[in-house]
Amino acid sequence: MSVEVRNITKTFGSFTALNNVSLNVESGELIALLGPSGSGKTTLLRIIAGLEFADPGTAQVLFHGEDVTNLPASQRRAGFAFQHYALFRHLTVFENIAFGLRVRPRATRPSEESIRERVTELLKLIQLDPLANRFPSQLSGGQRQRVALARALAVEPKVLLLDEPFGALDAKVRKQLRRWLRKLHDDIHITSIFVTHDQEEALEVADRVVVMNEGGIVQIGPPHEVYDRPANAFVFNFLGNVNLFQGRMDDGLMKIGDTELHVAENLGTSVSDATVYFRPHDVKVSTEPVGQESIAALIRHINLAGPVVRIDLERADTGSRFEVELNREQWQGIDRRVGDRVFVDLQRVRVFPTDHKTPLEDFSI
Amino acid sequence: MSAPHSLIATERLGGHRRPTTEPPWVRRLLIGVALAFLAIFLWVPLAAVFAQAFAKGARAYFDSFNDPVTFAAVKLTLIAAGIAVPLNLVFGVAAAWAISKFNFPGKSLLITLIDLPFSVSPVIAGLIYVLLFGAQGLLGPWLIDHDIRIIFAVPGIVLATTFVTFPFVARELIPLMQAQGRSEEEAALSLGASGWQTFWRVTVPNIKWGLLYGIILCNARAMGEFGAVSVVSGHIRGETNTIPLHIEILYSENVVAAFAVATLLTLLALVTLCLKTWVEWRAAAESQTAEAE
């Protein structure tokens, strides 16, 4: 079932959480709403669920073309998974999952037998059938979130909404569970929207990523597209580690310190105050200058732990610091010490006008 | 549960001094002061009530209850508490629900108003009703015309009791419900439950211990209230005297009977304390299993 929201604005007092947001989710899609805290992503999800209502006006929420804008949450049939699970603490795992079936009006309520059948089936799906009689407090975080998902799925929702579903879990469980979610979605194909501030999670799990910032949608696209072709500096910055050099763009020629870079895609544009963005791994490091565009830098710190070698560098001309990542083989070909001089060639860069309003923040976790 | 064990273990193992500990004589002095204070202000008076009540033997004690006026006082107290407690249960749950689950203009005013019966003297609480419903009061003439008696009658006593005991249930529930948040209710709604189902199946089970605690305290106060009830009662024997008012009258006539009736309230206090401890213990046990991972 498709989900569409149109012209959603939501204010809390003087704070604008959402500013005229529209979004269309195709039937069977798995969508990630990605953004920093305060970007409005959870508010948008709660408005779709009917747990929050948009400011009156032209706002519309459509489920499969049908207007549900004024329908309360209990009549929308939107399954919702909460960040902190919100399991009913006084009910067992079994009764938690059965809840949505038991509260149905007598006419549509399944028999005790079919409730039992359905819950057992879901317990198998989440691989927790031996724990049916435990209470939520006796489960681990990952188990609780799976119970919460089963509980939401029990009522056969038209759409599954997940609010930071793995946010409260430790890194390893989070990784397992998001693969499990992806697999689950591939099996049952329910239209799903999940909110996250973890770019890795969004890029790994979602069919399409909706990047949000300051109450608006900044970019929508498949994971590889938003990663490779970020719409602006914010998206580039938010989706991964980034270095930046400030300089001047003159008809595709970017002047940074003593170096001039040719940026083909910016031919014809001239900006007096521009910033070059590049990822730490999109570089080539050599012991001798390769050409005109090589940047001389001094090694300030070397971190050899982990699969990649991280090197802190200081530019010889401007003194600004940046970080590069090399794999171990590349590093073995260089093998220099702290204080030595190397030459860096930027392989892939993006140039955006310098944004003085929002200073660079480290969004990575 | 593990914290006390580990403390005992470290003390036993190395006799390790904790940074916050005091020399033995300071500890003994502090404990001694606390015990002496408790003895003078709580245990001796408690014992005195029973000593006085049984001063002329068990027979005199039990004879004290064989009095229709005493019987009427007990009955009136039960009626007043029997009406005030359920009313405050409903009001308290409604107020706590509104305050903790919704945002609305005037919310902080409502929270302040709930505390009013605690902050105002009980005598003033009683006077409010006299000024409102008394013969010279605001609504007095209208009530007299329609032959409705509130002041110096049972309705006045019920009103005053309800007013004084209003905050107990609400005060107990508001922090509890605020701490629990709205997400379980939201989950129930998103699963298709109606507001009524959500309340009975999710909210009530989550607040039951706090609710019981509030009811116990509310009942204890409702049965023991003196000041506000005294103002509106008129002290008509056998008609508008509750147990506390009756004790006061008896005290000037028959000391043994006064203390005998007083033992009823004292026993009520002891039962309340036991129930209160039991509820606290149960609630703690449940929240402990909830926190155990």
Are A202 and A325 in contact, with CB atoms under 8 Å apart?
no
pLDDT tier at A290, thresholds 50, 70, 90: confident
Mean pLDDT over B269-279 rounds to: 88
Instruction: Name, in order, each residue with C-beta under 8 angstroms of A19's C-beta and a sequence gap of 6 or more.
Output: A9, A40, A214, A215, A216
Which residue did the predictor score with more confidence, B248 or B101?
Answer: B248
This prediction has a pTM of 0.79
Across the interface, whether the CB atoms of B292 and A99 are under 8 A apart is answered no
Instruction: Name, in order, each residue with C-beta under 8 angstroms of A10's C-beta and a sequence gap of 6 or more.
Output: A16, A17, A18, A40, A43, A47, A52, A54, A55
d(CA A222, CA A210): 9
Please give the single-letter amino acid code of residue A321.
R
Instruction: Name, in order, each residue with C-beta under 8 angstroms of A137's C-beta and a sequence gap of 6 or more.
Output: A89, B289, B290, B291, B292, B293
Nearest chain B residue (CA) to A97: B191
Mean pLDDT over B244-254 rounds to: 87
Chain B closest-CA separation from residue A215 CA (Å): 22
ipTM for this model: 0.82
Chain A closest-CA separation from residue B173 CA (Å): 18
pLDDT tier at A335, thresholds 50, 70, 90: confident
Percent of chain A beyond pLDDT 90? 57
Chain A closest-CA separation from residue B240 CA (Å): 45
Q: Is the pLDDT of residue B29 over 90?
A: yes
Tell me which residues of chain A have a C-beta less than 8 Å from any C-beta of chain B. 49-51, 72-80, 82, 84, 86-90, 99-100, 103-104, 135-138, 140, 148, 151-152, 154-155
d(CA A165, CA A178): 9
DSSP H or E segment with residue A78:
strand A78-81
Percent of chain B beyond pLDDT 70? 92
Q: Is the pLDDT of residue B12 over 50?
A: no
Q: Is the pLDDT of residue A218 over 60?
A: yes
Chain B residues in contact with A137 (beta carbon < 8 A): 289-293
B101 inside 8 A of chain A by CB: no
Residue-wise pLDDT tens digits, A85-98: 999 999 999 999 99
Name A278's bridge partners.
A243
Q: Is the pLDDT of residue B13 over 50?
A: no
Across the interface, whether the CB atoms of A74 and B189 are under 8 A apart is answered yes
Mean pLDDT over B121-128 rounds to: 88
Buried b (16+ CB within 10 A) or exposed e, A97-136: bbbbbbbbeeeeeeeeeebeebbeebbebbebeebbeebb
pLDDT at residue B284, as a whole number: 82
Nearest 10 degrees: Cα torsion A65, A69, A73, A78: 20
Instruction: Name, in order, each residue with C-beta under 8 angstroms of A45's C-beta and a sequence gap of 6 or more.
Output: A33, A161, A163, A193, A195
CA nearest B244: which of B97, B13, B129, B73? B73
Instruction: Name, in order, each residue with C-beta under 8 angstroms of A88's C-beta and a sequence gap of 6 or more.
Output: A95, A96, A99, A136, B184, B187, B188, B201, B202, B205
Residue in A89, A136, A155 closest to B191 by CB: A155
Burial label, A312 (beta-carbon count in 10 A; 0-12, 13-18, 19+): middle
Of the residues A91, A99, A145, the best mutation for testing chain B's interface (the one with the most B CB atoms within 10 Å of its CB) is A99
Taking each helix axis from N to C end, the angle separating A93-102 and A141-154, rounded to the nearest 10 degrees, works out to 20
CA nearest A64: which of A11, A25, A102, A113? A25
d(CA A2, CA A177): 25
Please give the single-letter amino acid code of residue B181.
G
Q: Is the pLDDT of residue B84 over 90?
A: yes
Across the interface, whether the CB atoms of A89 and B290 are under 8 A apart is answered yes
Across the interface, whether the CB atoms of B190 and A138 are under 8 A apart is answered no
Q: Is the pLDDT of residue B32 over 70?
A: yes
d(CA A222, CA A237): 17
pLDDT at residue B290, as a whole number: 57
Across the interface, whether the CB atoms of B290 and A137 are under 8 A apart is answered yes
Chain B residues in contact with A72 (beta carbon < 8 A): 189
d(CA A336, CA A65): 62
d(CA A186, CA B11): 57
If DSSP codes are grouped into helix, strand and coil, which group holds residue A7? strand
Beta strands in B15-140 (DSSP E): none
Mean pLDDT over B31-55 rounds to: 89
Q: Is the pLDDT of residue A323 over 90?
A: yes
d(CA B265, CA B259): 10
B107 inside 8 A of chain A by CB: no
DSSP H or E segment with residue A6:
strand A3-12
* Average pLDDT score over chain B: 84
Of the residues A52, A90, A91, the best mutation for testing chain B's interface (the one with the most B CB atoms within 10 Å of its CB) is A90
pLDDT at residue A213, as a whole number: 93
Residue B8: CB atoms within 10 Å: 10
pLDDT tier at A162, thresholds 50, 70, 90: very high
DSSP string, A206-265: -SEEEEEETTEEEEEE-HHHHHHS-SSHHHHHHTS--EEEEEEEETTEEEETTEEEE-GG
Residue in B192, B290, B292 closest to A100 by CB: B192
pLDDT tier at A147, thresholds 50, 70, 90: very high
Chain B closest-CA separation from residue A311 CA (Å): 41
Which residue did the predictor score with more confidence, A28 or A264?
Answer: A28
Chain B residues in contact with A89 (beta carbon < 8 A): 184, 206, 290
pLDDT tier at A363, thresholds 50, 70, 90: very low
If DSSP codes are grouped into helix, strand and coil, which group holds residue B53? helix
Residue-wise pLDDT tens digits, A89-129: 999 999 999 999 999 998 989 999 999 999 999 999 888 99
* Average pLDDT score over chain A: 89
Burial label, A213 (beta-carbon count in 10 A; 0-12, 13-18, 19+): buried
Instruction: Name, in order, each residue with C-beta under 8 angstroms of A287's C-beta and a sequence gap of 6 or more.
Output: A334, A336, A342, A343
Residue-wise pLDDT tens digits, A17-69: 999 999 999 999 999 999 998 899 999 999 999 999 999 888 999 999 899 99
Across the interface, whether the CB atoms of B186 and A151 are under 8 A apart is answered no
Alpha carbon of A235 to those of A249, B78, B290: distances in Å?
Answer: 21, 69, 41
Across the interface, whether the CB atoms of A86 and B202 are under 8 A apart is answered no
Q: Is the pLDDT of residue A364 over 70?
A: no
d(CA A167, CA A171): 9
Across the interface, whether the CB atoms of B193 and A103 are under 8 A apart is answered yes
pLDDT at residue B11, as a whole number: 45
Are A88 and B184 in contact, with CB atoms under 8 Å apart?
yes
B190 inside 8 A of chain A by CB: yes
Query: Is the CA virtual torsion A216, A219, A222, A226 positive or negative?
Result: negative
